[in-house]
């Protein structure tokens, strides 16, 4: 889904390009095509110019031209005016982040940072032709200055994140450029054909970073020399895909209702996330717009979200019910009603009333599950309804959480919850393997720290025995989670 004020022609061209881009990544990574349910896709918001993107992002946004926030049921990207030029910075950022989303979605295993960033840079330099032709793997010219002038990153530092982190205080360096260069060389250099797949296979089998690299690439000293030589090549190969090699699904463009057009700036702020102060301001504006358009289900659904964000659960439920009375298939109205009912159950005093409130909340999420069977939110909250009542989760609830994590592999907090569940089941080896994708996440902030603490507990735990982590002795890192940015 893309929301934009661009012309229909621009919006259609942009959508076609993104469809071809996704199809090309499937083809070049030998990934079987799959069609995710609507709520497991990326929603793109065109929010205006770069200043508006930075204003939405908040503190530390002076170099931001677009960003991506992954979350189960609400993965979003915010970009400035849609542009279809291959030299557009905003398009390059979106393609880079979409490549991350694609690569994370096709594997739950921890991906080395160089591979993740190198792959994203490799795909993001795509060029689209009016004829439908698409080129992938063009030289990342925006990394040229970095590769020539920035502080160098040794091959060991590039391949071993721990070695790199120990020297990360150097500031501006060639990590991104060298990552792209290595990915490009391993993709196109005939002498190294098949080595990238062998490397990924070695990692999947549990080999550490440098041994896996040596197993697949041979001498790392020679690899470093070859990389320097590859950078000096006068010409580099590129994949050219004609229009028949990629596919474009049906594209439907519709005009928002008058009410939703007025509500959209508020909806975008809600989807970006608001603190208590911003939520209190936003809900007043949302109520005003809803009063003007009382028969618009989309407006009422957005009002329900604003009411929930501001802490008014009964008002959120009422707005959601009004929206659902007009359109019973409105997914966001079901989600906001479920959220509000669940929070009422959490805040209720213990006893029969609290148990009944949990049942009512789960019934609301079940209604959503009937509309969209693969929506992850009902599965997540069904599992949590056991945990939050101090009850052992049923087998159905445990399978539901596993399914939600498969549907939303990009949601690291969800995977953290899954790892804890597996640890409590005594599935120590599986939990230890899955937690690696969290401990190696450079954007994880406090979640990475908590995952590292959990990983250390798993290291000492015997297989088959439930592990109950004592979080009372954990000292959290004072660092917020950082979204993928460009």
Predicted confidence (pLDDT) per residue in 185-203, tens digit: 999 999 999 999 999 988 8
pLDDT higher than 80, residue 344: yes
Mean pLDDT, to the nearest integer, of 321-338?
A: 97
Of 358, 486, 398, the residue nearest 96 (C-alpha): 486
* β-pair type (239-241, 134-136): antiparallel
Mean pLDDT of 331-354: 92
Place of tokens 């080896």: 429
Contacts of 249 (CB under 8 A, 6+ apart): 19
Confidence (pLDDT) at 478: 53
List beta partners, residue 78.
Answer: 45, 67
Predicted pLDDT of residue 28:
92
468 burial level (CB within 10 Å; 0-12, 13-18, 19+):
exposed
Per-residue model confidence as pLDDT tens digits over 89-104? 777 888 988 898 888 8
The secondary element (H helix, E strand) that includes residue 101 is: helix 89-105
Strands 127-128 and 42-46: unpaired
Kind of pairing between the strands at 75-79 and 2-3: unpaired
| pTM for the whole structure | 0.87
Render the burial of 295-328: b for 16+ CB within 10 Å, e for the rest: ebbbbbbbbbbbbbbbebbebbbbbbebbbebee
pLDDT on residue 472: 79
Percent of the chain that is helix, strand, coil (3-state, to 5) = 60, 5, 35
d(CA 390, CA 362) in angstroms, rounded, equals 16
CA 72/CA 376 separation, integer angstroms? 6
Q: What is the pLDDT of residue 87?
A: 59
Looking at every residue in the chain, the average pLDDT score rounds to: 89
CA gap 49, 90 in Å, rounded:
10
pLDDT at position 484: 47
Quickly count: other Cβ atoms within 10 Å of residue 95's Cβ: 23
Spatial neighbors of 20 by CB under 8 A, at least 6 apart, are 128, 132, 134, 241, 246, 247, 248
Above 60 in pLDDT, residue 55?
yes
* Tokens encoding 25: 């990544």
Query: Which residue segments constitute the domains of the chain, with CATH numbers given?
Result: 2-241 (no CATH), 259-391 (1.25.40.10), 411-486 (no CATH)
Say yes or no to pLDDT of 473 above 80: no
Buried b (16+ CB within 10 A) or exposed e, 352-376: eebeebbeebbebbeebbeebebbb
Q: Which of 117-121, 162-166, 431-435 has the lowest mean pLDDT?
A: 162-166
Q: Are 392 and 380 in contact (CB under 8 A)?
A: no
Which of these, 242, 193, 252, 254, lies nearest to 23 by C-alpha position?
A: 242
Q: Which residue has the tokens 């604003």?
A: 306
Burial of 262 (0-12, 13-18, 19+ CB in 10 A): middle
The whole-angstrom separation of Cα 7 and Cα 347 is 47
Q: What does the pLDDT read at residue 170?
A: 57
Gap between the Cα atoms of 435 and 420, Å rounded: 9
Closest CA to 99 of 75, 120, 78: 120
- Residue-level pLDDT at 483: 46
Q: For residue 404, what are the CA distances in angstroms to 118, 417, 423, 450?
A: 28, 11, 17, 21
Closest of 142, 133, 132, 167 to residue 153, by C-alpha? 167
| H/E segment holding residue 51 | helix 50-57
Stretch 48-68: mean pLDDT, rounded? 86
CA distance 399 to 88: 43
Quote the CA–CA distance of 295 and 8 in Å, as a whole number: 27
CA distances from 360 to 3, 338, 340, 418 (A): 33, 9, 11, 25
Instruction: State the pLDDT at residue 443.
Output: 61
Instruction: Sheet with 42-46: list strands edge to edge.
Output: 2-3, 42-46, 75-79, 67-69, 484-485
Q: Per-residue confidence at 465, pLDDT binned at 50, 70, 90?
A: very high
H or E stretch at 68: strand 67-69
Mean pLDDT of 303-327: 98
Q: Which string of b and e fits 378-390 if b means at least 16 CB within 10 Å?
A: bbbbbbbbbbeee
Model pLDDT for residues 84-139, shown as the tens digit of each residue: 565 567 778 889 888 988 888 877 666 888 998 999 999 998 999 988 899 999 99
Chain Cα centroid distance, residue 344: 29
């Amino acid at each position: 889904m893309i929301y934009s004020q661009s012309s229909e022609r621009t919006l259609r061209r942009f959508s076609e390009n993104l469809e071809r881009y996704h199809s090309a990544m499937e083809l070049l990574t030998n990934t079987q095509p799959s069609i995710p349910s609507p709520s497991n896709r990326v929603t793109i918001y065109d929010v205006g110019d770069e200043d508006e993107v930075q204003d939405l992002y908040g503190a530390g946004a002076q170099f931001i031209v677009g960003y991506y926030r992954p979350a189960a049921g609400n993965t979003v990207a915010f970009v400035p005016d849609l542009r279809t030029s291959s030299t557009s910075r905003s398009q390059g950022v979106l393609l880079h982040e979409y490549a991350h989303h694609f690569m994370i979605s096709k594997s739950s295993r921890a991906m080395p940072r160089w591979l993740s960033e190198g792959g994203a840079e490799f795909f993001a330099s795509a060029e689209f032709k009016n004829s439908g032709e698409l080129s992938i793997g063009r030289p990342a010219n925006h990394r040229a200055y970095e590769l020539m002038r920035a502080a160098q990153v040794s091959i060991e530092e590039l391949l071993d994140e721990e070695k790199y982190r120990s020297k990360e205080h150097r500031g501006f360096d060639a990590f991104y450029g060298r990552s792209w260069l290595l990915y490009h060389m391993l993709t196109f250099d005939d002498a190294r054909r098949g080595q990238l797949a062998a490397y990924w296979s070695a990692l999947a089998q549990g080999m550490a970073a440098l041994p896996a690299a040596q197993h697949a690439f041979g001498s790392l000293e020679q690899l470093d020399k070859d990389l320097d030589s590859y950078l000096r090549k006068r010409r580099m190969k590129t994949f050219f895909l004609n229009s028949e090699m990629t596919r474009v699904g049906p594209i439907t463009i519709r005009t928002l209702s008058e009410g939703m057009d007025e509500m959209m700036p508020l909806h975008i702020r809600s989807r970006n996330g608001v603190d208590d102060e911003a939520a209190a301001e936003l809900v007043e504006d949302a109520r005003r717009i809803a009063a003007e358009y009382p028969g618009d289900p989309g407006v009422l659904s957005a009002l329900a979200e604003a009411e929930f964000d501001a802490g008014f659960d009964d008002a959120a439920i009422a707005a959601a019910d009004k929206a659902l009375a007009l359109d019973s298939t409105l997914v966001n109205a079901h989600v906001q009603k479920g959220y509000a009912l669940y929070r009422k159950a959490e805040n209720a005093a213990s006893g029969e009333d609290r148990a009944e409130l949990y049942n009512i909340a789960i019934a609301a999420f079940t209604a959503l599950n009937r509309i969209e069977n693969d929506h992850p939110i009902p599965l997540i909250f069904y599992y949590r309804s056991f945990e939050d009542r101090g009850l052992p989760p049923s087998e159905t609830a445990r399978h539901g959480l596993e399914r939600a994590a498969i549907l939303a592999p990009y949601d690291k907090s969800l995977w953290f919850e899954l790892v804890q569940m597996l640890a409590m089941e005594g599935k120590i080896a599986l939990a230890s393997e899955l937690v690696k994708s969290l401990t190696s996440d450079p954007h994880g902030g406090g979640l990475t720290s908590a995952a590292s603490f959990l990983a250390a507990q798993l290291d000492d735990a015997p297989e088959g025995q439930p592990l109950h982590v004592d979080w009372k002795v954990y000292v959290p890192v004072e660092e917020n989670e950082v979204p993928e940015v460009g």
